[in-house]
Amino acid sequence: MTSKKAYPLRLDPALFAAIERAAAADLRSVNAQIECLLREALAKRGVRVELGEPAKRGRPPRDQSSPGGGGGSPKD
């Protein structure tokens, strides 16, 4: 999994509410919306940001070595 930098952010409640509404309209989390807005603002200023590895989606694969982790039907 890609590590991300955790950073406490204090926002004006009205600003947070506006970001929350925009995030809901875009079907994003507030965190993802803030990251998107920051990237857009930096791009507008001509600052290039390298894209990291995209987040993996879905359920992780089962561990084949664990009991019952092989998937499929049990062998008789």
pLDDT of 39 > 60? The answer is yes
Q: Decide: 33 and 26 in contact? Cβ < 8 Å.
A: yes
Distance of CA 12 to the CA centre of its chain: 23
Asked if pLDDT for residue 51 goes beyond 70, the answer is yes
Residue-wise pLDDT for 7-20, tens only, equals 899 999 999 999 99
Burial of 64 (0-12, 13-18, 19+ CB in 10 A): exposed
Q: Is the dihedral of CA 12, 14, 19, 24 positive or negative?
A: positive
Residue with the bigger pLDDT between 50 and 14: it is 14
pLDDT band at 41 (very low <50, low <70, confident <90, very high): very high
